[in-house]
Amino acid sequence: MTYCIGFLLDEGLIMMADTRTNAGVDNFSSFKKLHTLVDTADRQIFACTSGSLSMSQAVISLLREGLPSSGDVDMVRTLSGAATMFRAAQLVGEAVQIASRTVGAALASVNIGSSVSLLLGGRIGKAPPALYLVYSAGNFIECKTEVPFLQIGETKYGKPILDRRVRMETPLDEAVKVGFLSYDSAMRSNLGVSRPIDVLVMPRDKKRPLIQVRVEEDDEYFNALSREWAALLSEATQRIPNPPFMAEPE
């Protein structure tokens, strides 16, 4: 299992992915889940993956090498030719469907799960950043202002803090901090989520640089954040009055 978050905010796009992969309770390993699909002068497109590792790798390889064209067997369609991020999401959905018919069918024949989902984010040309969630069937949804984040993987433990704190107007630095708190919550409750965490920050303003970092197990900021968050939660719990029905009778 893994956990990935994407934020689409007024100030730009953030994508986060942990690296934990497991094939049973005693078989954990790390694989990169935040992938650079295209990074050129006119477009930057990235994807986070969750689910079957073999399916995820098949989808990413299809997208990088190109999908076959129905009209010309010698032609391939790539993300470099997509006119918009919507068209890019359609191509990713088609790659998922192709992988399902090949790799997914082989896995299903031996009763191995073949579910896969992706967060697709980036921008093309002069358009602002966009964020999509692509499901196992190849269908997808776009991130909108009502809920400015999307999640895949082990989502339930880290979602409450996002619901409480993330809005469209949330600054990028604060959103990254809240994202780390979401990961801290998920990691405390599920061994299927773990550092390293890969982070991508794409400011809406093209004059600001793209940020890509990896948060390792010994990252001082993340460790301090985890300790302080635990202390503040304990302090807040003590400050809130106890339930009145638990009071000793006079």
156 contacts 1 by C-beta, under 8 angstroms: no
pLDDT (average), residues 242-247: 94
Is residue 184 in some structural domain?
yes
**Cβ-proximal residues to 21 (8 Å cutoff; 6+ apart), any chain:** 2, 28, 29, 30, 31, 53
What does the pLDDT read at residue 69?
86
CATH classification of the domain holding 71: 3.60.20.10
Lowest-confidence range among 64-73, 192-201, 208-217, 230-239?
64-73
Is residue 250 in some structural domain?
no
At 21, the pLDDT band (50, 70, 90 cuts) reads: confident
The alpha helices in the chain, defined as continuous H runs, are 53-65, 85-99, 105-109, 159-165, 172-189, 220-239
48 closest CA partner among 193, 172, 200: 200
Write the pLDDT tens digit of every residue in 160-219: 999 999 999 999 999 999 999 999 999 999 988 999 999 999 999 999 999 999 999 999
Counting the structural domains of the chain, the total is: 1
Is residue 201 in some structural domain?
yes
Nearest-10 Cα torsion for 97, 102, 108, 113: -60
Question: Containing domain of residue 27, as a range?
Answer: 3-242
Is residue 110 in some structural domain?
yes
99 closest CA partner among 86, 111, 116, 112: 116
Is residue 249 in some structural domain?
no
